[in-house]
Amino acid sequence: MKTLDLSLHCGAMKAELAEVEAVSTPEPTKTWTPIPHARVVGLVRETLAHNGLTVAAEAHSLTKGGARYFGLMQIQNGVQHEDYAWALGLRNSHDKSFPAGLVAGAGVFVCDNLSFNGEVRFARKHTPRILFDLPGLVQRAVGRLTERWHHQDERLEAYKGFALTDEQAHDLVVRALDTRACGISRLQSVLAEWRKPRHEEFNDRTVWSLFNSFTEAFKGGSLTELPGRTERLHGLLDNYVGLPAFQPAELINGKN
């Protein structure tokens, strides 16, 4: 199975799944019930399989001596998408620093600075009922993801099928600045990618090619700002090609 790149900061270390499974779980108290990192991973795997989804690639990391876990899984629904990939981000802690959680979508971001963004997400505190509530929360998140899968396919086809002139592309770049989808420091990079794409598949003059001009320019930028910029960019381009109003990330509330 392939591995994914996982953005690591503040001393986090990439880990094999066996290392994650070997981390010991602290004893619970009357008000706090930590769960094994491997239990979170295993529950997500079981739920994906139950919904006909497979894990195509994954990455795991540990920090604070194993007290904090972060992971990514690239998933497939039986169809190989060449243009985008869906992913799940996972996290769990044994030191009360943050709740157990999951984030899912085509634009997933999870790393050890606690940024946790995507199209569907939840967080569940480590209270005594966590083991009872967690399976249902994971199922709901994966269910929402499968519902949105079709929307992403629809978006992709709309972007690819909408031709742009240079004048229209330049207008959208300015509007991206106005809507804070792109900072002024990235505009020149966006235009350079549009005028001379580094990837041959984006030579077509379409909204899809322009979208990829933005995403190329975003590389190496602020990880904290990236999810919000991507959401705003989708909102701008979805409206331009006539798709329904962009739906922001959906938060699935977990019980305390």
For residue 230, pLDDT beyond 50: yes
The Cα 121–Cα 98 span in angstroms is 14
| Parent domain of 230 | 162-243
For residue 125, pLDDT beyond 60: yes
Residue 224: the pLDDT is 57
Q: Is residue 156 part of a domain?
A: no
Pair (116, 215) in one structural domain: no
Q: Mean per-residue pLDDT for 234-246?
A: 86
Of 127, 149, 171, the domain-final residue:
149
Pair (73, 167) in one structural domain: no
- The DSSP code for 163 is B
For residue 93, pLDDT beyond 60: yes
Residue 213: the pLDDT is 93
Pair (139, 173) in one structural domain: no
C-alpha closest to that of 246 among 104, 119, 86, 140: 119
Average pLDDT, the chain: 83
Pair (120, 48) in one structural domain: yes
The Cα 221–Cα 192 span in angstroms is 17
Backbone angles phi, psi at 54, to 5 degrees: -125, 155
Q: Is residue 60 part of a domain?
A: yes
Q: Is residue 155 part of a domain?
A: no
pLDDT band, very low/low/confident/very high, at 123 (cuts 50, 70, 90): confident
Pair (142, 166) in one structural domain: no
SS3 state of residue 123:
strand
Pair (45, 70) in one structural domain: yes
Pair (77, 51) in one structural domain: yes
Q: Is residue 100 part of a domain?
A: yes
Residue 231: the pLDDT is 79
For residue 155, pLDDT beyond 50: yes
pLDDT in tens, 39-90: 999 999 999 898 888 888 888 989 899 999 988 888 887 655 666 667 788 8
Q: Is residue 49 part of a domain?
A: yes
Q: How many domains does the chain have?
A: 2
Pair (65, 116) in one structural domain: yes
Q: Is residue 250 part of a domain?
A: no
Pair (105, 31) in one structural domain: yes
Pair (123, 209) in one structural domain: no
Pair (97, 183) in one structural domain: no
Pair (203, 129) in one structural domain: no
Q: Is residue 204 part of a domain?
A: yes
